[in-house]
């Protein structure tokens, strides 16, 4: 069954590529758990200070007004045990929205893990005690991950990320994080607000990827964003048509969208209109991320290769 926000791949007349496609601007963010070597995902030089995140923004004026924030995370150590507020709680504090996110695992060393939810349910008083004595870190439900996995993290879910990972994080545009445990790094905890917003129990079941055809797999589909993985055949042009805020991230191989080349870890942005997207001679894999509540973008082969894909 096609998910509620999913588009249909269809034969369509070629649309002119729009000038609105732009390469995203990259902002490095230093983190104590980050890395000095971002290769092969980025050529940015850390210059002796660990970089934990790369943030991608629109390059045009007012670019920070986008609904979503796309990041790359590079983990050499465990991140803090943390939780994010939902829209209602965030707005009660005067913030525009909360923070629901999803992680796509770009690279995972053997044994890499993420923490999602707790192993058992705690009352507010039990969670407070676990934060105060540090035992909350031992209650996190750690699970192994591998390259290509996707994890949905709704607001209110207690979570953590282990070392040895490169992750594409897709999230609501917010940097509000309430820490419950920080592995002795000396950063402030946010116990009372964390208790207020946390669903202090096991995480909800994950949505399973929905492979619609050889080109397209829906990974995450909700009212806030839709994440698709597209697998492009070698040198075969497609027409990507977007309505609303859309991000394209290279995952494997090399592709061009409206003449902008994207390798692994590189990102482009488009809003409305059409753009030709084509891989190199080896094919390519990319993520296409659509902000909700718009209909997800469509992808059709160019006329010389047209066929009904669903």
pLDDT(129) > 80: yes
- Do 172 and 224 share a domain, yes or no? no
Could you tell me if residue 1 is inside a domain?
no
Dump pLDDT digits (tens) for 152-194: 999 999 999 999 999 999 999 999 999 999 999 999 999 999 9
Q: Residue 243: what pLDDT?
A: 82
Evaluated on CA atoms 58, 63, 68, 72, the torsion sign reads: positive
Q: Residue 244: what pLDDT?
A: 86
Could you tell me if residue 3 is inside a domain?
no
> What are the b/e assignments for 215-249, b being 16+ CB within 10 Å?
bbbbbbbbebbbbbbbbbeeeebbbbbbebbbbbb
Query: What residues make up the domain containing 234?
Result: 210-305
How far is residue 237's CA from residue 280's CA, in Å, rounded to a whole number?
10
How far is residue 2's CA from residue 120's CA, in Å, rounded to a whole number?
34
Dump pLDDT digits (tens) for 115-126: 999 999 999 999
- Do 171 and 237 share a domain, yes or no? no
pLDDT(265) > 60: yes
Could you tell me if residue 235 is inside a domain?
yes
pLDDT band at 300 (very low <50, low <70, confident <90, very high): low
pTM of the model: 0.88
Among the residue ranges 4-18, 89-103, 145-159, 223-237, the one predicted with the least confidence is 4-18
- Do 153 and 262 share a domain, yes or no? no
Q: Residue 16: what pLDDT?
A: 37
Could you tell me if residue 205 is inside a domain?
no
Could you tell me if residue 143 is inside a domain?
yes
For residue 66, the domain's CATH number is 2.60.120.10
- Do 173 and 47 share a domain, yes or no? yes
pLDDT band at 14 (very low <50, low <70, confident <90, very high): very low
Q: Residue 5: what pLDDT?
A: 35
Enumerate the active-site residues: 179
Q: Which of 256, 37, 68, 23 minimizes the C-alpha distance to 166?
A: 37
Dump pLDDT digits (tens) for 23-67: 999 999 999 999 999 999 998 888 889 999 999 998 765 545 789
Give the domain-ending residue among 163, 197, 231: 197
pLDDT band at 254 (very low <50, low <70, confident <90, very high): very high
């Amino acid at each position: 069954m096609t998910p509620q926000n999913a588009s249909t791949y269809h034969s369509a007349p070629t649309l002119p590529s729009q000038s609105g496609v732009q390469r995203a601007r990259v902002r490095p963010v230093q983190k104590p758990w980050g890395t000095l070597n971002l290769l092969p995902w980025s050529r940015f030089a850390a210059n002796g200070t660990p970089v934990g995140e790369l943030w991608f923004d629109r390059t045009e004026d007012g670019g920070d007004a986008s609904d979503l924030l796309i990041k790359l995370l590079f983990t050499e150590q465990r991140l803090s045990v943390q939780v994010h507020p939902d829209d209602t709680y965030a707005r009660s504090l005067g913030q525009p929205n909360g923070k629901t996110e999803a992680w796509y695992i770009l690279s995972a060393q053997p044994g890499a893990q993420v923490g999602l939810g707790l192993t058992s349910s705690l009352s507010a008083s039990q969670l407070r005690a676990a934060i105060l004595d540090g035992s909350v870190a031992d209650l996190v439900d750690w699970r192994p991950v591998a390259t290509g996995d996707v994890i949905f993290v709704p607001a209110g879910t207690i979570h953590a990320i282990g070392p040895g990972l490169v992750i594409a994080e897709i999230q609501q545009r917010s940097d509000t994080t309430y820490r419950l445990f920080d592995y002795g790094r000396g950063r402030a905890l946010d116990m009372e607000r964390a208790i207020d917003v946390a669903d202090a129990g096991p995480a909800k079941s994950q949505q399973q990827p929905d492979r619609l055809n050889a080109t397209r797999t829906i990974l995450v589909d909700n009212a806030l964003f839709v994440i698709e993985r597209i697998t492009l055949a070698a040198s075969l042009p497609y027409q990507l048509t977007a309505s609303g805020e859309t991000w394209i991230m290279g995952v494997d191989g090399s592709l061009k969208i409206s003449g902008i080349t994207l390798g692994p870890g590189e990102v482009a942005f488009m809003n409305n209109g059409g753009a030709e997207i084509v891989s190199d001679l080896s094919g390519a894999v990319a993520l296409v991320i659509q902000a909700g509540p718009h209909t997800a973008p469509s992808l059709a082969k160019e006329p010389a290769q047209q066929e009904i894909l669903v």
